[in-house]
Structure 1
Amino acid sequence: MASSSPTVQHISDCFIKPLYTSEEAKKPVYLSSWDLAMLSVQYIQKGLLFTKPSSFQLDPLLQNLKDSLSITLVHFYPLAGRFKTLKQENPPLYTVFIDCVDTPGARFIHANLDLTVSDILSPKDVPLVVQSFFDHDRAINHDGHDLSLLTVQLTELIDGVFIGLSINHVLADGSSFWHFFNSFSQVFKANNGQKQIIPISKSPNFNHWFPEGHGPIINLPYTHHDQFISRHESPILRERFFHFSSECLKKLKAKANEECHTSKISSLQALSAHMWRCITRVRKFPADHITSCRMAINNRARLDPPLPENYFGNCIQTVRGIASAGKLLENSLGWAAWEMHEAVVNHKNKDIREWVEKLESGMIYQLGFFDPSSIMMGSSPRFDMYGNEFGLGKGVALRSGYAHKFDGKVSLYEGIEGDGSMDLEVCLLPDFMASLETDKEFMDSLSS
């Protein structure tokens, strides 16, 4: 990469409204306690890098993206809205909802960067310039009162294109984020220039879930947003991708199951346990220091009655394994993987509803409170990421923005070749990353 480090230049931006406004879109969208708890954390920022095909033409691509976004927003109308705060003194009321009428729409940015695909992918660490492939840098979700709730940014490189989506986390968890991304791609493929609605294979369900007798308005115990929002600046981190082939993952899974004399441990549980042990080892904690491995978990199918797969919003929680550094490292991979397995299988309807009761007291998540003795396994390799093509063929890499990066954050993505492989985006303090790169157990696990 050139030492002058070119920067992303914004060429143009505009706002895109739904092709037409449905009757549902004229009503306020009230949010669940799962959603409102996200007001002080950051947007979800994920996108795909493509190489330019020989037939590449920028202007038709930009127009088709804008037209397809307008059509897709008919199905996903809350993403074109803005937040409004509803408050009154007597009786006391404070809540945030989505206004889909008084809004300029979703944002679309066209940008340019004088670098190549190789400049982005060949460095060992993810270049900082990747953070500029996304809108809403360092924004928190409450900023959606003024900022767009969705931005699509196309950044043209010398020989490639990056399409980055930034969605307000109050509106969507990972499942819903990729549901929108997949639908946007589906509409793009079917769009022949017609200005009319295009059906999608999985319509979003915006019936936000509330426990019996609750909602649709959740009254927060606040009088001003300063009482519950905070800004978090990440420390200087190294961010690296590590590729686990399907063969490597099969070996980890087999080892964990064999050590526990079981067949119940999944690849994801074995991998999470492996990362927990390796990162804890390079952090060099005292033996009695308590560590944990948190894993994001989808609650839709775990509630009783379950929520539909197409439920659009937040329906996630974290489960965790806990152990002292000494106990974690003196025991086997299988022991740690069984801890993660137990955390997952014991997470049931009763636990979810008890957590929602806590959220309904007005709990708002704060990014700065993350435990530096933990690791956090986020995202999921089960999401369809590389199926989003936009007339450019299959993407060559997936990357994310600044949001939700801290020491010990590990994001799981499907491997580009499919077949059960995974790419891990690992964020660590520089000294810890340097130690991980020389950790024999970790580096050996990357080769089959």
Structure 2
Amino acid sequence: MATSTKRITVHDHCRVAPLASADLVAEQSLPLTYFDIIWLNFHPIQRLLFYQFPCSSAQFLEKIVPNLKKSLSQTLKHHLPLAGSFYFPLNSGMPEFRYVSGDSVSFTIAETSTSTSTHDFNYLIGNQARDADQFYPFVPSLPEPRTDSESAFKIFPLLAVQVTLFPETGICIGFSNDHTVGDASSIVRFIKAWSSATKLGEEEAKISSLPFYDRSVIEDPSGRRANIYWNQMKHSKYWPQQTYILLKEDIQRLRSHVLTKRPNVSHLSSFTISTAYVWSCLAKTAAKIGEMVDDNEPEYYVITVDARHRLDPPVPATYFGNCLAAAVTESTHGELKGEDGFLVAVELISELISKRVNNKEETMRGADDWMAKYAPLFEKRVFGVAGSPKFDLYDTDFGWGKPSKYEAVSIDGDSAMSLCKSREFEGGLEIGLSLFKPKQDAFEAIFNEELKI
């Protein structure tokens, strides 16, 4: 029976299990590596893909939803950890991912009001400031964990999916996943595998690069990182969401400015330019909104780096799980908000990428102490980057064409920006931010004004 909320009607909450077949294992368990344990206390990652695809309610429920369920079942057969759960030991022992026969993924089918369908869809796929709360009806909730007192585990589901119809206008597919099960590389590969199976059918899609699960490829030179991290971790308002576009010519103009003022800066990729620009603009917003920050207050910049090809020996690109290293640099509030704040940010980020990110020996240096070193930063002024132009979800086609908009909803309230390729402008980038309304307004004014200068 359908249930209604203010924004949507939920037609069904169901479960989708991996496709039963002769080669489907009855049980799979995977240990957590130290790369996974880092994310134990992190919030779920929430993604939305919006597709312009005029479709009636009958077509949606009778044809599209059954096809999505079938292809998801086929795809989960190769991604069993996502259908399984995270097992957190209540007493002693180490955590693990475990799939057992009968496990499945939460799948919600919903529909918006016909009368507001087009208006709501066009509002949500825009680049203007949108109330971040307006996205949440389309984001699935991970089911509540349960406690198995007999085995002494608390059991956490890892993935939930929601498909919402905007009648005669479009479709939104929402994903929520626990970060411990996999990084962006892993989850984006899963989403693309599902879209391919939906559009082409499993036989035609023929997943070319099946996920690789062997944890032994993650080297732990000290033999104790997972235990160290586990021991450290086991105890352990109105926000508008807005998209900003940096066009190819904007990036080139900023790059030329850097080369004129700082000709010795070596690494001037679009990633360096865009994140440095946002970091410096954010620092300038404090004074605009009357936020009192001492000029000597540290400002931290944090990015995660795919470590698959940086480990020795390298890990296969199809490795499913987390394999991220952190890279951090810092400035002061006074430097970043100053006239040359963008140049300061570019120099620091360029050096960070040249000396740490692009140097595999440096990328993994000090990994035994990452938790103790980096965890305290999140109580300070820290700016992070979620996503990368490398993980392009704008080519994710379920048979309805390319997405009209991608939103990283989980940045809402975070001191982080999302970053992906622009769908509309070749060579451009889409930047997502979700800040307290006065701060968002101040940032927008500075972002646009600095580009003119």
TM-score class, shorter: 0.7 to 0.9
* Amino acid across the alignment from 1:119: Y
Mapped pair 1:200 → 2:213: no
Instruction: Give the structure-1-normalised TM-score.
Output: 0.84
Please report how far the alpha carbon of residue 184 of structure 1 lies from its aligned counterpart in structure 2 after TM superposition.
0.9
CA 1:156–1:238 in structure 2 vs 1: closer, same or farther (change >3 Å)?
Answer: same
Q: 2:405 aligns with which of 397, 401, 407?
A: 397
CA distance in 1, matches of 2:131, 2:42: 23
* Residue number in structure 1 paired with 2:76: 73
Q: Give CA deviations for 1:216-257 in whole Å, capped at 9, x if unaligned.
A: 9858765995x22xxxxxx54232111112221222223223
Instruction: Please name the residue that 1:429 is paired with.
Output: 436
Alpha-carbon distance change, 183 to 446 in structure 1, aligned in 2, over 3 angstroms = farther
Q: Distance in 2 between matches of 1:383 and 1:327?
A: 32
Cα–Cα, structure 1 residues 304 and 293, in superposed 2: closer, same or farther, change >3 Å? same
SS of residue paired to 2:134: helix
Q: Give the stretch that moved more between structures: 46-55 or 318-327.
A: 46-55
CA contact (8 A) 1:82 1:146 kept: yes
Shift of 1:127: 4.5
Counterpart position of 1:28: 29
- Partner secondary structure for residue 286 of structure 1: coil
After superposing the two structures, state which structure 1 stretch, 151-160 or 257-266, moved more: 257-266
**Matched residue type, 2:421:** E
Residues 137 and 243 of structure 1: CA distance in aligned 2, closer, same or farther (over 3 Å): farther
The change in CA–CA distance for 1:289 and 1:223 in structure 2 (over 3 A counts) is closer
Corresponding residue to 2:239 among 224, 237, 240: 237
CA distance in 2, matches of 1:390, 1:272: 31
Question: Contact conserved, 1:298 with 1:315, CA < 8 A, in 2?
Answer: yes
Query: What's the TM-score once normalised by structure 2's chain length?
Result: 0.83
Structure-2 residue corresponding to 1:180: 190
Q: 1:175 to 1:349 in 2, by over 3 A?
A: same
**Which amino acid in structure 1 is aligned with residue 11 of structure 2?**
I
Contact 1:30–1:96, Cα closer than 8 Å, also in 2: yes
1:136 pairs with one of 137, 141, 163: 141
1:231 — aligned with what? Answer: none
Q: Deviations over 1:106-150 (max 9, x none)?
A: 121101222331232356324412112122279899999555312
* 1:51 aligned onto 2:52: yes
Name the residue aligned to 2:250.
248
SS in 2 for 1:264: coil
Deviation, 1:447, is 7.3
Once the 2 structures are TM-superposed, how far is the Cα of residue 352 of structure 1 from its aligned partner? 4.2
Pairwise CA distance, 1:179? 1.0
Unpaired runs of 5+ residues, structure 1, are: 229-234
Contact 1:293–1:320 at 8 Å: present in 2 too? yes
Identical pairs, percent: 23
Distance 2:143 2:365 in 1: 32
Q: CA deviation at 1:32?
A: 0.5
Specify the alignment match of 2:348 in structure 1: 339
The count of residues paired between Structure 1 and Structure 2 equals 424
1:358 alignment partner AA: D
Does structure 2 retain, via aligned residues, the 8 Å contact 1:82–1:103? no
SS of equivalent residue, structure 1 residue 438: helix
After alignment, is 50-59 or 266-275 more displaced?
Answer: 50-59
Which residue identity lines up with residue 285 of structure 2 in the other structure?
V
How far the C-alpha of 1:358 sits from its partner, in A, is 2.7
The answer to whether residue 108 in structure 2 is matched with residue 109 in structure 1 is yes
Equivalence for 1:118: 122
Gap regions ≥5 residues in structure 2: 288-292
Q: 1:315 aligned to 301, 305, 323, which one?
A: 323
Q: Partner of 1:167 in structure 2?
A: 177
Partners in 2 of 1:390 and 1:145 — Cα distance? 35
Root mean square deviation of aligned Cα: 3.4
Is 2:67 the counterpart of 1:64?
Answer: yes
